[in-house]
Structure 1
Amino acid sequence: MLPHSLSAPVSPQSKEDAIRESVMQAAQHLFQQHGLDKVTLEDVAKAIGKGKSTLYYYYKSKEEIFTAVMSREIDNVITQVAEAVAHASTAEEKLFSFCATKLCALRKKLALYNIVCSEMNTQAEFGCMMRQRYFKRESVLLKGIITFGIARGELQAMSEQDLNTLVFVVLSGLHGLEMEMLVNDNFDMLDSSIALLTRTLIHGIKA
């Protein structure tokens, strides 16, 4: 055991991870307060008590930091959704959990969501990348729900092409609902809208 006055050495990897984490936390706070355009690398460096040159060792631009922040946020939302879906028993319950958990998680990140929407409108390449990343992760989860329902006899069997088309249609409709509720801050009909969407989808393809 190490003497009480000494502490265990911190590995270089652990120190790098800690610095990256502090950078992302500080940057996310700044982005939500001021928006991406008004935040500079100097602002982020100052927030964590480091020099700009130190920041360059980890990230080459604020856009790279923003992408890292958003990737983590996407992972966080998808994890929450996946856990909620796993605890549901039927395909209908899983689909409701998928939609409701996703919208509730995004609502908590409303300030960051609005920044992302703004960036998607002004930077086509960035917007396309983020949409594809998110859409792919969502598609895997939604396909799993539908496949689960088919295996249990809740939903009718369908071809792979029809399955992919259905996933695309459902996610497109859900994204439209997201835009209405999140951009316009209108959550008055959240539960009823999701319940109707879920019921319509399930009973529309019911076995």
Structure 2
Amino acid sequence: MRHETVDLIFDAAIEVFAESGFDQAKMDDIAKAAGVAKGTIYYHFKSKEELFVGLMNEGVQKLIDRARRNMELHASPTDQLLGLVENQIRFYVQNGKLAKLLLSEAFGTKTRQLQFRIKIGEYLQLIEKVIDEGNRIGEFRVRHVPEAASAIFGAASVVVLQKLYSMDELDPARIERDIPPMIETVRHMVMCGMKDSSWR
């Protein structure tokens, strides 16, 4: 079981990275926000880069775990895919600062790019698995499965990020009201494409 101190460090790092950006963020500030000594952070992470990569992996793993649990609630590929879209949008909304960090800072260094591709690849494999099954039983008609999975991930990501970046300050009540239209829009786009026979 992971030490709870790591959770405190991750929570503090999200706040500091979100406010200052990766380059300007200081380990001293993260330590202060976490209520731990800077040496404690270095005990768990060798560098700021390693801390960020760990934070990024942690965030995407939470998305993956939620997606897997959500998939178990539905029997058909169509319902699973619609559930994945809703889950991703709600996850980003509930973790707005983390979502903005992941998709704005993850492409900084080669290490970050590689780690991000690997971790997001795990999530995309879940989407591909659902599409493959939908193709197999005739619910979907998708020719290019990896590209379709990437498009679904991208659509759900961008619709939330555009909303988050359009606000000067995060307004929880407003963004909560905007969740249903975001989900409905992405679902409609996805399902129209997935069932369009012209994709064959």
TM-score, scaled to structure 2: 0.74
Aligned positions of 1:78-89 closer than 5 A = 78-89=64-75
Change over 3 Å in CA distance of 1:196–1:62 after alignment to 2: same
Contact 2:88 2:157 in 1 (8 A): no
In the TM superposition, residue 33 of structure 1 has moved relative to its aligned partner by: 4.7
The reply to whether residue 171 of structure 1 matches residue 153 of structure 2 is: yes
The reply to whether residue 153 of structure 1 matches residue 145 of structure 2 is: no
In the TM superposition, residue 104 of structure 1 has moved relative to its aligned partner by: 1.0
List runs of 5+ in structure 1 lacking aligned partners: 1-13
Q: CA RMSD in A?
A: 3.1
Contact 1:94 1:145 in 2 (8 A): yes
Match of 1:70 in 2: 56
Aligned positions of 1:31-180 closer than 5 A = 31-120=17-106, 123-125=108-110, 128-129=113-114, 131-156=116-141, 162-180=144-162
Return the letter of the residue paired with 2:118: R
Return the letter of the residue paired with 1:203: K
Partners of 1:30 and 1:70 in 2: how far apart? 14
Greater Rg over alpha carbons, structure: 1
Higher RCO (Cα < 8 Å, 6 or more apart): 2
Contact 2:15 2:97 in 1 (8 A): no
In the TM superposition, residue 48 of structure 1 has moved relative to its aligned partner by: 4.5
Match of 1:203 in 2: 195
Change over 3 Å in CA distance of 1:101–1:62 after alignment to 2: same
Change over 3 Å in CA distance of 1:24–1:166 after alignment to 2: closer
SS state of the match for residue 75, structure 2? coil
SS state of the match for residue 81, structure 1? helix
What's the % identity of the aligned pairs? Answer: 17
Partners of 1:101 and 1:55 in 2: how far apart? 32
TM-score, scaled to structure 1: 0.72
In the TM superposition, residue 177 of structure 1 has moved relative to its aligned partner by: 3.3
Partners of 1:65 and 1:142 in 2: how far apart? 28
Count of equivalent residues: 189
List runs of 5+ in structure 2 lacking aligned partners: 168-174
Change over 3 Å in CA distance of 1:182–1:95 after alignment to 2: farther
Partners of 1:194 and 1:157 in 2: how far apart? 17
Which of the residues 165, 178, 183 maps onto 1:183? 165
